[in-house]
Amino acid sequence: MAAFLAMVAFAQVPRGGAVPKSVTAKKLFHLGATTSARAPQLQTAGGELVTLPEGVSTEDYTMTIDQEAYSEYGWQSVGGKRTVQVAFDGDDVYLQGLAYWFRDNYVKGTKNADGNYVFKTGQLIGSDADGDEFINGMTYGEEGLVICDYVFDFDAEARTLTLAYGYFLAESDAPDSPDAYTQIYSVNYKPGAYVVPDLVTLPEGVESQTWYLSAYNDYGGVNGEVQVAFHGNDIYLQGLSSALPEAWIKGSVDGNTATFATGQYLGLGYGAYDMFFVGADGDYNVKDVVFNYDAEGGSLKTADYIVVSQDETLSYFYESYMDTEITREKPALPETVTVPDGLQTNEWLFEATRDNYGTTEPYVNHVQVGFDGQDVYIQGLAESFTTGWVKGSLSEDGKTVTFPANQFMGVTGEEPYIDEYYFTSVDGEGNLTGVVLDYDAAAGRLSTTQPVYINSTRTRLYPFFAFTDVVMTMKTETADTPATPSVESFYGGWSYSVRFDIPATNAEGKSLITSKLSYQVMVEKDGVEQVLPLTVACYPMLEQDMEEVPYNFEAKWDILLHGKMINLNQGEEEIKTWSKIGVRSIYRGGGEEHTSAIGWYDLEPFWQEMGIEQTTTAVEPADDAWYTVTGVRVAKPAAAGLYIHKGRKVVVR
């Protein structure tokens, strides 16, 4: 995958402030009535904010918290360490810092017979324009998730407080609700302010060199550049963290080994979270990282596990490296397949079962297949890399096509942060091996019972895609009406985007040739349904304005393949004038043109939920344009009929 891919995407979201790129604005996650319950006759605290009694003093404590906030990307880690205040007043204790959105406010607990502290669930923790928020205790009962009072174990000698086993906390909008903005899984309070560790700095006058990193993580291959510097027997590395690319770690060279102590502080990542360099062995025991060092050849290699973590342990690590190799010389990429000039290809339907992180699901793609004598070429096997080719050899009897093991398809991204793509299978022992497809020329069919992978690394299996039961079938072109597409979701807040489901089939499920399929984004504005033009002014990566988007078209970041996501760059003031957004497909096959019905998405409930007042404006195009009633822009009416001009319906006779 991309270099330095984070294990956990996260960032703090300041209420009322700018929202960082990696997390959306505050969002409530509903656990659902079927998975949660309220304890019988539970009395929640509610009421007013907890305040410290007059004359009670506070102490600096270090709070270590494992916490998650819910955003459009799902639950994201926002844990770490920070200095908070704790106050003791007789049998009562006051804890600061539990609230993600109101970190300066307190909850109150009372000592029980065991010497621990019990906190009433549902204590008000803060209020703002979004309403009240509460800290609710949660545990699992026979009926599922149960709201309850919660306990902090107290070590009187060490004066530490720890959320007791079996409890977790939800920051919610009601004192008796299991729904949550954030969840806390564990939290510990230790006396004394949190002391930020010292950063490693490069000695004055020492110059660094650019070396090249190759490694693996749980997502695949990792490639990138790092800086390496030497000062006596000391060695310095910079660039192991994408969040803190300027951070250095320091090691020592002893002959043919270079050792880096675990637990080195890297800095404050994403502006809010402490990050550490941590090493581990194959059993995930924390240890120093030891590299084999070849001074003459210029290489550092280690089998130790390297992570960038939120603390000196392995909890909530953000980035990871396995089988790390850092070399002075840049590794050369394998050669890609060269396609012969004039190769004739046909579009084939690719069907398989995909293993998506342990869950199997049907998978459909569309590939190009070409024959040149005994050579067989296939393009588009990786949906995320549609331009990559593989080359196989047709057997003498014409019944099989064999592709070499782990054949290189090419790269995406920009140096040095690239993704490498390979096509391979594996044998029963997990060794990379060639792909053999059975070929039925009469039926136009290629198939295999082997596992097939789109791999990300050169020497081992770390696949982007894992397939079984692969079948490829040549398509035939006919005149068809495309199936009606739909709007899967519409997202708004600090930015707006829409996701479409555009079937590459007709209504009966027959596969269409995707090069002849396109779609149009539709909006309803002031009661008028019209095509939404995608202009260069809004989408600078376009070469020209578009009112019709080819199915296989993409524009980096803004328009994804197959309409799976389009960023709406028209601006909120314009978007608020839309009452509906939709999509329709156009298919030009068999010498005919057919248009689907429009799949609409009603935006009015969205505006109401967001608390945004919808506006209306007359449709008065600056270029005095005319539109058909189906939203197609025309230079001027070419025939009698009903048209839209300057936001009004006009009958042309």
DSSP per residue, 185-230: EEEEEEESPPPPPPPB-PPTT---EEEEEEEEETTEEEEEEEEEEE
610 — pLDDT class (breaks 50, 70, 90): confident
Q: Are 58 and 108 in contact (CB under 8 A)?
A: no
Q: Which residue has the higher pLDDT, 402 or 626?
A: 402
Distance CA 461, CA 459 (A): 7
* Mean predicted confidence (pLDDT) in 440-448: 98
Residue 117, H or E segment = strand 117-119
Q: Are 134 and 174 in contact (CB under 8 A)?
A: yes
The pLDDT tens digits of the residues spanning 510-551 come to 999 999 999 999 999 999 999 999 999 999 889 999 999 999
pLDDT of residue 312: 84
Distance CA 299, CA 323 (A): 13
Q: In the Cβ-directed half-sphere of 529, how many Cα atoms lie within 13 Å?
A: 17
pLDDT beyond 50 at 291:
yes
pLDDT of residue 615: 66
Pick from 609, 495, 611: nearest CA to 129: 611
Pick from 569, 598, 651: nearest CA to 484: 598
pLDDT beyond 60 at 73:
no
pLDDT beyond 50 at 330:
yes
Q: In the Cβ-directed half-sphere of 312, how many Cα atoms lie within 13 Å?
A: 9
222 — pLDDT class (breaks 50, 70, 90): confident
Q: Which residue has the higher pLDDT, 276 or 41?
A: 276
Q: Are 82 and 196 in contact (CB under 8 A)?
A: no
The pLDDT tens digits of the residues spanning 115-139 come to 999 999 999 999 887 789 999 999 9
pLDDT beyond 70 at 74:
no
Distance CA 307, CA 241 (A): 9
Among 111-115, 270-274, 374-378, 395-399, the minimum mean pLDDT is found in 270-274
Handedness of CA 598, 601, 607, 608 (dihedral sign): positive
Handedness of CA 427, 432, 433, 439 (dihedral sign): positive
pLDDT of residue 621: 41
φ/ψ of residue 514, rounded to 5:
-70, -25
pLDDT of residue 3: 31
Q: What is the CA radius of gyration of the chain?
A: 30
Q: Are 583 and 485 in contact (CB under 8 A)?
A: yes
Residue 260, H or E segment = strand 257-260
Residue 34 DSSP one-character state = G
Q: Determine if the pTM surpasses 0.75.
A: no
85 — pLDDT class (breaks 50, 70, 90): very high
Partners of 487 in the beta sheet? 500
Distance CA 101, CA 119 (A): 19
pLDDT of residue 305: 94
CB-based contacts of 283, cutoff 8 Å, min separation 6: none
63 — pLDDT class (breaks 50, 70, 90): very high
242 — pLDDT class (breaks 50, 70, 90): confident
Q: Which residue has the tokens 């050169």?
A: 458
Q: Are 552 and 497 in contact (CB under 8 A)?
A: no
Q: Torsion angle, CA of 356/357/360/365, rounded to 10 degrees?
A: 10
pLDDT of residue 608: 86
The percentage of the chain sitting over the pLDDT mark of 70, rounded to a whole number, equals: 85
Query: In terms of C-beta density within 10 A (0-12 exposed, 13-18 middle, 19 or more buried), how is residue 37 classed?
Result: middle
Q: Which amino acid belongs to residue 428?
A: G
Average pLDDT of every residue of the chain: 86
CB-based contacts of 33, cutoff 8 Å, min separation 6: none
* Mean predicted confidence (pLDDT) in 471-488: 96
Q: Which residue has the higher pLDDT, 79 or 401?
A: 401
Handedness of CA 572, 575, 579, 581 (dihedral sign): negative
